Each structure stands twice: as C-alpha cells, then as structure tokens.
Amino acid sequence: MTPLRQRMLDEMTLRGFSPKTQLAYIAAVKGLADHYGCSPDQFRIEQLQAYLLHCLRVRQLSHSSCLQILHGLRFFYLKTLRWTSADLDLPRPKQAQVLPEILNRTELEQLFGAVDNLKHKTVLKTTYAAGLRVSEVVRLRIRDLDSERMTLRIEQAKGAKDRYTLLTATLLGALREYYQIYRPAVWLFPTSQDPRQPLSIRSVQKVYARAKRQAGITKQGGIHALRHAFATHQLEAGMPMHHLQRVMGHHAIRSTLRYIHLVEQPSYLIEGATDLLAPRRQGGGERQA
C-alpha cells in the first residue's frame, strides 16, 4: 500500500467512514490515477475536471456514480492533500428530476401474492412495512425486534447511524408466522445454505424482480420502490413530516420533503394509519393509496 493511500485511509478512519464508503472513495482516486497513468498528487484542477467530463460523456456513468467519484476526489484533495476549497473547483453534476413510479395498495397485494416462498414473502413485506433499504432488511437480527415497544432497531444504517422504525401489528403477525416455520437463531433472514450468514442484497433484489414480473407489474424501479411506496403512503395517511424523517433515517429534511411531490391525495389521520399491511377497511371509509 502506498503512503498516499494509507494517509487517505487514516483520514477516513478518523472520521468514522464506513468500510463501504472507504472502498468507494479509494476506487474513485484509483480510477483517476489509472486514467492518467500517474500518481494523483501530480494533477492540476483542469485534469480533474476533464476526468469528470470523461466519466459523464464517454463512460456514461449514472448520476449517482459520478457523484460518488466527485465526493471521493473532493475528500482526497481537501482532506488528504490539504488543498483549499478555492483550489478545487469541481461542480456537482446536476441530476435530472425524475419522480419514481409509486406502487399502489392493489399492486402491493399482487406483488406479495405472487411469492410462494414464505421467507421471501416476509422479506418483501418487512422491507415495505418498515420502510427499509435492502441493505438494512438483510442485516436485521432477531434481537432487533421489540414487540413490547413495537419497534424495529436498524443498526448502523446509512451514515453509520442507528435508528428505530415501525413494527406494526400486521407485520409482527407475519414475522411470527415466519418464525414458527424457519426458527432463525441470529439473523432474521439467514441463507438456507448457512444459517450463520444473512441473505445477500443481490438475492433479495432478485426475489423482488421475480415477484414483480410474476405479478405483472410494469412500473419502473427495483426493490427500493418499496421504500418509496412506504414513505408516500405514510404521508397520504397523515404521518407528520418530521416523524417520517426519523423513521426513514434521513439526515436532512429535504430528503423527506421530496415525497410531497409523490402524494396524490393527502389524507386525514385515520386509526392505524401506519399499519399499511393491514387489510383495507370496507365501505365509504376505505382509504385508497
């Protein structure tokens, strides 16, 4: 390992960056060095700007990938090499504002109904009912469920922060049914091959894609659509914005506010509004999501 890379790793470790972030930032600087074929401490600002343009125009990387590269380069030059902000004029790539397509209650019922495997069905229900990222649902442990306080503890989520989210009565019932059959010991959703290991992110993504295909759902988006649906449906049911921010684990309120644009019919507060897996009430009081 070069002294320069070690310095960068030390700086990130001191700031408590997650291993995943450290790998991404190191990869960003390595990509720059490989592109020009020399040490990254030898470049001028014009070369950094040209490299970002290359990522956008030639490699046609996604906005999120380019943004991650930008963050990695900014950290390296500002924190490791101690450049000043005035020396590092790297504009943030602007992202086109594309609103996700939100699954409605009928589509969610069709999605869950298309899954025969109880473990897979429960994984999808948990992802939706608790508003989780896929990386969070696969890391749930038995000890994270608190049926007395009706909460799910999310340990070291994005931003290296713990938080609590909702454990509704309907989800608790589904989890108990699942537990009676599978009896997981540590991880809530372990692999069949090795109970000591949790399901992989990729395997759960495949479960969602297969269920969506079998349910005949054509709306765009991967399993993160369940988290989008959770947030939108909670707002429509009347959950206060600051409460939703805490449940979703958003650092900035602006991340939560974007769901305002997805709400079709803001609703009044109704009894059990947070239990979105519960059967819909019949008659005139039924809420359509």
Select which of 133, 139, 212, 233 is catalytic: 133
Q: What is the pLDDT of residue 283?
A: 47
Contact criterion met (CB below 8 Å) for 198 and 190: yes
- Active-site residue 139, yes or no? no
- Active-site residue 250, yes or no? yes
Q: What is the pLDDT of residues 43-95, one digit of tens each?
A: 999 999 999 999 988 998 888 889 899 999 999 999 999 998 877 777 776 66
Q: What is the pLDDT of residues 180-221, one digit of tens each?
A: 999 999 999 999 999 899 999 999 999 999 999 999 999 999
Mean pLDDT of the region 168-182: 95
Q: What is the pLDDT of residue 280?
A: 65
- Superfamily of domain 105-262 in the CATH hierarchy: Intergrase catalytic core (1.10.443.10)
Mean pLDDT of the region 235-241: 88
CA dist 141 and 246 (Å) reads: 20
Select which of 25, 77, 208, 259 is catalytic: 259
Q: What is the pLDDT of residue 109?
A: 95
- Active-site residue 121, yes or no? no
Q: What is the pLDDT of residue 286?
A: 37
Q: What is the pLDDT of residue 270?
A: 37
Mean pLDDT of the region 138-162: 87
CATH of domain 3-87: 1.10.150.130
Mean pLDDT of the region 240-262: 85
Select which of 5, 105, 158, 287 is catalytic: 158
Q: What is the pLDDT of residue 128?
A: 96
pLDDT at position 121 over 50: yes
- Active-site residue 133, yes or no? yes
Compute the mean pLDDT over every residue in the chain, rounded to the nearest whole number: 87
Q: What is the pLDDT of residue 288?
A: 30
Q: What is the pLDDT of residue 185?
A: 93
Domain ranges of the chain: 3-87, 105-262
pLDDT at position 99 over 80: no
Select which of 119, 227, 228, 233 is catalytic: 227
Q: What is the pLDDT of residue 271?
A: 39
Q: What is the pLDDT of residue 41?
A: 92
- Active-site residue 92, yes or no? no
Residue 77's closest CA among 36, 29, 33? 29
pLDDT at position 272 over 70: no
pLDDT at position 254 over 50: yes
Select which of 63, 224, 258, 287 is catalytic: 224
Q: What is the pLDDT of residue 84?
A: 87
Q: What is the pLDDT of residue 33?
A: 95
Other residues' Cβ atoms within 10 Å of the Cβ of residue 168 = 18
- Active-site residue 71, yes or no? no
